[in-house]
Amino acid sequence: MTTAPFDPRRRHWLRVGAATAAIAALPLGLARAQPRTTVARTRSGQIGGQIEDGVHVFRGVPYGADTAARRWQPALRETRWRGVRDAHAYGPSAPQRGGEGPGSEDCLRVNVWTPALRDGARRPILVYIHGGGFTTGSGSDPLYDGGALCRHGDVVVVTLNHRLNAFGYLHLRDLGDASFAHAGNVGQLDLIQALEWVHAHADEFGGDAGNVTVFGQSGGGAKIATLMAMPAARGLFHRAWTMSGQQVTAAGPRAATQRAELFLGELGVAPGELERLRTLPMQALLDAQRVRDPSRVENSALYFGPVVDTVTLPRHPFWPEAPPQSADIPMVIGNTRDETRAFLGNDPDNFSLTWDALPAKLRTQQFVDLDPAVVIAEYRRLYPGYSPSEVFFAATTAGRSWRGAVEELEVRAAQGRNTWAYQLDWHPRTEEGRRSRAFHTLDIPLVFDTVQLPSARTGNDDDARRMAATMRDALLAFARSGDPSHAGMPAWAPYSMAARETMVFDTPSRLEHDPRGGERRLYQQAPFLQRGTQ
């Protein structure tokens, strides 16, 4: 990142800056009538955002320096700038393949939504960590807009970008010198640096540094689970809400080193030539990630994720027990009822399976080494009305998407009574909704209350808005008090091994004891193995 020269618009920003504090203190209805500009002060300079429906919004704010010069090392603090830096647009995503790529190595950015600036209100702060595994994604998806949470809950909302895939999780410690010591976890260290930035600027954005909730879906939940076992993250957040994302075990150093060697081989870089990696084109590093992962469980590209390096991550996140350092942090662990319809539902053949074709499909897609004949027989006993396709989607969800949640809930329950479980059964009552049901990611627009967006796939009818209000208010209650219960839903008891209390979000929502208990017992016949561990 370069230092900004004198901006000819600076005088304009200086004029509006003096008015911003007054605007922030006005009732929202009056604030909307004022110029839609706002200025905040950060440790590295002023930023100019805009007021959107009464909410102060700052996008693309640096919390670290360009990582191109610090590949596989902890990031430095962002470079200071002069004048008022424009914070109207989202920053670049991290380097990645796919729809949000190729991205940029100058990607360490936060986005902030707040009802007011510098007013001493000490609002709860909610920090969202995006999904996409540890490989893709960004904090810029329209579904993550924090405006509705701000307006309904009087909270501060932050989303962010951080290093991903080989740029964030390539374990080179055992192949290079001391400068590569933390390479396998620098993506996680970026998250810690972002949380430190949030802590340092809480007062400026009207938030409470002593009340920070991290929440995330899929890979975001896994990143949060990992943070709960990282000593450097201690004290930076005080509540955790995870959605369809768990990290029971992380990669061991041997497995992570083997993947690093495959990656180096694809690049044509010998282990003694690691310094070459620092100058290779970004695109070359992205292209080399296409090499097939050595795991025989999945036929996929090379896996990158957190590594038990004994220093930044000294233990597996949730094995053999929940991390003691996070025992006092209230936690919500949730999943959707039909997770795998999000990715296995893209194949139309999966909706017309026969009983004869089902065993071979399960053998490759349930990711658990259980005899498909045993699995099918038990599902036909539990759910006599299920078709082969319904068994396929239910079994793959229970076998590969739900197992981590059960593992985390059990070890958290052994620690105390500050963990809550949910299952999202609700889905739109449309033709698409009946086909996709409660698919992976459906809870994102419900907790953010962004159901009006077409990409939400929830519809925007009264039913969808009611479900969004229920889940949104549960998140807000949790952020405020550490308990997700609120007046608009049934009483939500913490999870225990005796009753396995689980809030089922549906129409109507209800508290159930051990929902899908038969499926849980079936799959617990096989040991759980987190992807990437071996």
Q: Mapping DSSP to helix (H, G, I), strand (E, B) and coil, where does residue 261 land?
A: helix
Identify the band that residue 297 occupies on the pLDDT scale cut at 50, 70 and 90. low
**Residue 182 to residue 51: CA distance in whole angstroms:** 40
**Residue 292 to residue 403: CA distance in whole angstroms:** 25
User: Looking at residues 318-333, what average pLDDT do you find?
Assistant: 98
- Is 5's pLDDT higher than 50? no
**Residue 169 to residue 303: CA distance in whole angstroms:** 9
Mind listing the pLDDT tens digit for each residue in 403-420? 999 999 999 999 999 999
Q: Kindly report the number of other CB atoms within 10 A of residue 451's CB atom.
A: 23
- Is 376's pLDDT higher than 80? yes
Give the pLDDT of residue 386. 98
- Partners of 52 in the β-ladder: 55
Give the pLDDT of residue 36. 87
Give the pLDDT of residue 170. 98
Identify the band that residue 271 occupies on the pLDDT scale cut at 50, 70 and 90. confident
**Which residues are catalytic, by number?**
218, 339, 440
Please report, as a single letter, which amino acid is at residue 445. Answer: P
**Residue 117 to residue 357: CA distance in whole angstroms:** 60
Beta pairing, strands 156-160 & 419-424:
unpaired
- Is 22's pLDDT higher than 80? no
Contact predicate 382/390, CB 8 Å: no
Identify the band that residue 1 occupies on the pLDDT scale cut at 50, 70 and 90. very low
- Is 381's pLDDT higher than 50? yes
User: Looking at residues 363-388, what average pLDDT do you find?
Assistant: 96
- Full-model pTM: 0.92
Beta strands in 274-358 (DSSP E): 331-336
Scanning the structure block, which residue is given the tokens 């993506």? 187
User: Looking at residues 315-342, what average pLDDT do you find?
Assistant: 98
Mind listing the pLDDT tens digit for each residue in 462-493? 999 999 999 999 999 999 999 999 999 999 99
Encode burial over 406-418: b for 16+ CB neighbours within 10 A, e otherwise: bbbbbbbbebeeb
H/E element, 210: strand 207-217
Measured over the CA atoms of residue 175, residue 176, residue 178 and residue 179, the dihedral's sign is: negative
Give the pLDDT of residue 299. 63
- The percentage of residues in the chain with a pLDDT greater than 70, rounded to a whole number, is 93
User: Looking at residues 263-271, what average pLDDT do you find?
Assistant: 95
CATH of 338-523, one of 3.40.50.1370, 3.40.50.1820, 3.30.450.20, 3.40.50.300: 3.40.50.1820
User: Looking at residues 290-306, what average pLDDT do you find?
Assistant: 85
Contact predicate 386/338, CB 8 Å: no
The lowest-confidence range among 269-273, 329-333, 403-407, 423-427 is: 269-273
Q: Mapping DSSP to helix (H, G, I), strand (E, B) and coil, where does residue 9 land?
A: coil
Locate 353 and state its tokens.
């399976």
- Please state at what angle helix 388-396 crosses helix 372-382, rounded to 10 degrees: 110
Q: Mapping DSSP to helix (H, G, I), strand (E, B) and coil, where does residue 159 land?
A: strand
Encode burial over 492-522: b for 16+ CB neighbours within 10 A, e otherwise: bbbbeeeebbbbbbbeebebbeebbeebeeb
**CATH no. of 10-243:** 3.40.50.1820
**Residue 98 to residue 92: CA distance in whole angstroms:** 14
Encode burial over 86-112: b for 16+ CB neighbours within 10 A, e otherwise: bbeebbbbbbbbeebbebbbbbbbbbb
Identify the band that residue 529 occupies on the pLDDT scale cut at 50, 70 and 90. confident
Q: CB neighbours of 187 closer than 8 A, spacing ≥ 6? A: 134, 162, 163, 164, 167, 168, 169, 223, 306
Identify the band that residue 300 occupies on the pLDDT scale cut at 50, 70 and 90. confident
**Preceding amide of 508 cis, omega within 30:** yes
Identify the band that residue 267 occupies on the pLDDT scale cut at 50, 70 and 90. very high
**Residue 60 to residue 111: CA distance in whole angstroms:** 6
- Please state at what angle helix 219-227 crosses helix 186-200, rounded to 10 degrees: 80
Give the pLDDT of residue 14. 35
**Residue 412 to residue 481: CA distance in whole angstroms:** 19
**Residue 501 to residue 343: CA distance in whole angstroms:** 28
Give the pLDDT of residue 226. 98
**Residue 300 to residue 137: CA distance in whole angstroms:** 18
Q: Mapping DSSP to helix (H, G, I), strand (E, B) and coil, where does residue 202 land?
A: coil
Q: What is the DSSP string of 340-405?
A: GGGTGGGSGGGGS--TTTHHHHHHHHS-S---HHHHHHHHHHH-TT--HHHHHHHHHIIIIISHHH
Mind listing the pLDDT tens digit for each residue in 452-468? 999 999 999 999 999 99
Distances (CA, A) of 292 to 270, 303, 417: 19, 9, 42
Give the pLDDT of residue 12. 37
Q: CB neighbours of 392 closer than 8 A, spacing ≥ 6? A: 344, 350, 353, 358, 361, 362, 365
Give the pLDDT of residue 31. 40
Please state, rounded to an integer, the average pLDDT across all residues of the chain: 93
- Is 266's pLDDT higher than 50? yes
| Backbone conformation region of residue 110, classed left if phi is above 0, alpha if psi is from -120 to 50, else beta | beta
Locate 183 and state its tokens.
């390479």
- Is 128's pLDDT higher than 70? yes
Give the pLDDT of residue 127. 99
Encode burial over 232-247: b for 16+ CB neighbours within 10 A, e otherwise: bbeebbbbbbbbbbbb
Give the pLDDT of residue 18. 38
**Residue 485 to residue 450: CA distance in whole angstroms:** 21
Q: Outline which parts of the chain fall under CATH 3.40.50.1820.
A: 10-243, 338-523
- Is 131's pLDDT higher than 90? yes
Distances (CA, A) of 85 to 16, 41, 53, 66, 457: 14, 10, 22, 16, 35
- Is 508's pLDDT higher than 60? yes
Identify the band that residue 530 occupies on the pLDDT scale cut at 50, 70 and 90. confident
